[in-house]
A and B are shown apart, each in its own frame.
Chain A
């Protein structure tokens, strides 16, 4: 496996020219993120990713995790990597300064987390859980709870977990059975079992803080009866240090196809007297807190798609440059690196085009998060909040699916050596397979997109977005050199507008048809958004070129990537659109006996 090198040039280009770093820096509470500071942070993060995290990736995969009694043993190198990561302060990057973080905008933290995921995803899930939990506690915890737990979570002194899934409650959390019984002194005792708990048990930190969804005795049925509890592995003594062991144990870990370095635990709460827990937020409001967090968490998984795709691309490119095989189809020259075979080149250029599309989309969306959180004008903040909400299922659903495609294609570039584990691309492929599943499968994302994000508001935000994208196409029209791209985008937008009209024209009786086409709808929107972002990228590249700035080879390649995407991936939007309508139709009436 080649060393991972963070794609700093792409990152800087997108941050500065496309995702609006200058605008974000102008927002209140974001002033510190000056371009030179951001450059210094990215630079140092890339060194850390390459020097510390990337070298442990394969070893973690080979070694995996094991259960010894109730102890979970993680890969050997994790302790040192985690200690260095924590001591370097990376955990607090985007978290609030009052709890020890650096409070930098999401736009800055996104490329940094991309580097962590590229270099070692199984490891990075550990600190990622701290960030997720810190965000949940910030939303819902009492001041006293924040004072007790939050600084330790932000610093990484203690690790964190999220406990949602139970054997009968996966995508459907309404089926949650975990019980929480009040003790009478303000605390609760929890009883039940949670499964698929990433880093549910390990000895990397002196304590682990579990956030657990459970039902109170008087809880209403379904999702409106779920409350959130904080359950530490060790209860705190009078000085606030880990003391007595709580009634939580790991009873098994999963044997998985990927992310071997991340222990996936089954946790049993309350085998004896009940696990002591503390209610976070109001009773029965647990899911609401989880949902606020969910956008952030799903976005993070979308970034994993980009990150794994990037590493797969780097490996494939490196291999294609070195592997000599066959004759040049044009010149007949022997001893050619396979990069010069048109089909291998097609795969690599296609990978890079989709990486640029995803990265521009995700960073731009990260900028929207910041504007939504910090913009002083409520209308502007609200518009960006709605964009984030609309496109979050696309960021998660589309980028993870494309990320999987890229890992798959990287193996194809490697040929037989890709199927052999030692090259490392097989690991990327195996690791990537979970990302279209956890934090809501692609199907769940697509249902969310169709139901909550489009139908419920009668397509209002989607139409607003369409107008924005049309304005982009219009601007591209005005530059004769970009006509081809403008036409490509216009065609994508016509198709999307037609799909939107059709969706909204269907009555209740068409529900099965609509949901049968939800995933193709998500693909169509993803493909359109990708095309839009690449047209923006090409415009920015042309602008820089005209101004005589930047590296012309690089800028030309950006324009060529946009053109390649328009020629190859964009046409798929039309076929997705057909599946949305016609596929859903056939599916709705397909006889069950036919399966």
Chain B
């Protein structure tokens, strides 16, 4: 079984986000970038499937600028067998990414595609679902458990108020939730081997897909700074303030 894992280069989760002074975008100059944490979980799941003997090959793919090859290298160090880079300098949004991935799926014909449920930069939570629609494959989103049995996929999904288990016919699309697994640390020999694994670079044009932005970014603003709180003297005072000042209860 061939597994394709989509990964995204995002701002490192440790970095304190700064907004450009003209509010045109998030400031990414000289900022540390990393593999999106949900994508790391996706890679881990694919590698575990391979270690269990369920998957025979794990292919990592990304859509983004040249520098995104660093994240492909991370995926290779974590255990992916080879990588595909759809190179573009355009700002890639969910639909553009999904279209490019659909082209890669068409070429690679994987039995399973695993994606992070969302990227921590734009938090859209769309690409997996769009890819499912574009490829006509069944989807199991927000997975907290993935089991392959008798050519079928059983996906436990984290939904509001509980867990839902769905059974999908392969080939299928899965997006990962936080609790699916705990990604491993890459081993030093694997980091060194990663450089020697195949990395295939294609441009979006070569794939014949339009990944360009369809949205206009109007303005980016940092969240309002937290204001200092007050100490209340009693529960009654608290309830009073919640009712009359904050107006969050009635």
Contact = CB atoms under 8 A, between A and B. Distances in A.
Which of B70, B188, B191, B195 neighbours the largest number of chain A CB atoms within 10 Å of its CB?
A: B188
B187 interface: yes
Given A32-B192, A551-B29, A554-B30, A40 B187 contact: no
19 contacts: A36-B70, A36-B73, A37-B191, A37-B195, A40-B191, A41-B188, A44-B185, A47-B185, A48-B185, A89-B187, A89-B188, A89-B189, A89-B190, A90-B188, A93-B188, A102-B188, A102-B189, A551-B30, A554-B30
A40 B74 contact: yes
B73 to A, nearest CB: 6
Interface in B188-209: 188-192, 194-195
Interface residues of B, number: 18
A40 B185 contact: no
A93 B188 CA distance: 8
A37 B74 CA distance: 11
B186 interface: yes
Contacts of B187: 87-89
A51 B192 contact: no
A124 to B, nearest CB: 16
B14 interface: yes
A404 to B, nearest CB: 29
Contact of B186 (A34, A39, A44, A102): A44
A5 B14 contact: yes
Contacts of B185: 44, 47-48, 51-52, 84, 88
Q: 4 tightest CB-CB pairs across the interface, nearest first?
A: A89-B188, A551-B30, A88-B187, A89-B189
A48 B190 CA distance: 15
Contacts of B195: 34, 36-37
A89 B74 CA distance: 16
Contact of A40 (B14, B29, B77, B189): B77
Contacts of B73: 36, 40
Contacts of B29: 551
B23 interface: no
A8 interface: yes
B32 interface: yes
A550 interface: yes
A5 B15 CA distance: 11
Interface in B55-107: 70, 73-74, 77
Contacts of B190: 89
Nearest to B30: A551
Grouping DSSP codes into helix (H, G, I), strand (E, B) and loop, the B interface class, with mixed when no group exceeds half, is helix
Interface of A: 5, 8, 32, 34, 36-37, 39-41, 43-44, 47-48, 51-52, 84, 87-90, 92-93, 102, 550-551, 554
Given A87-B187, A551-B30, A102 B77 contact: no
A90 B189 CA distance: 9
Contacts of A90: 188
Given A44-B186, A48-B185, A89-B187, A102 B192 contact: yes
Contacts of A550: 30
Contacts of A102: 188-189, 192
Given A40-B70, A40-B74, A554-B30, 18 more contacts: A32-B192, A34-B195, A36-B70, A37-B191, A37-B195, A40-B73, A40-B77, A41-B188, A41-B191, A43-B74, A44-B185, A44-B186, A47-B185, A51-B185, A89-B189, A89-B190, A90-B188, A102-B192
Interface string B162-206: 000000000000000000000001111111101100000000000
A551 B74 CA distance: 25
User: Which of A34, A43, A51, A102 has most chain B Cβ within 10 Å?
Assistant: A43
A43 B14 CA distance: 13
A550 B30 CA distance: 7
Interface string B32-63: 10000000000000000000000000000000
A90 B186 CA distance: 10
A36 B195 CA distance: 9
A118 B212 CA distance: 44
A8 B189 contact: no
A44 B77 contact: yes
A51 to B, nearest CB: 7
A44 B189 CA distance: 12
A5 B194 CA distance: 25
Given A40-B73, A40-B194, A44-B77, A92 B188 contact: yes
Contacts of A36: 70, 73, 195
A8 B30 CA distance: 12
Contacts of A43: 74
B119 to A, nearest CB: 19
A454 to B, nearest CB: 39
Contacts of B188: 41, 44, 88-90, 92-93, 102
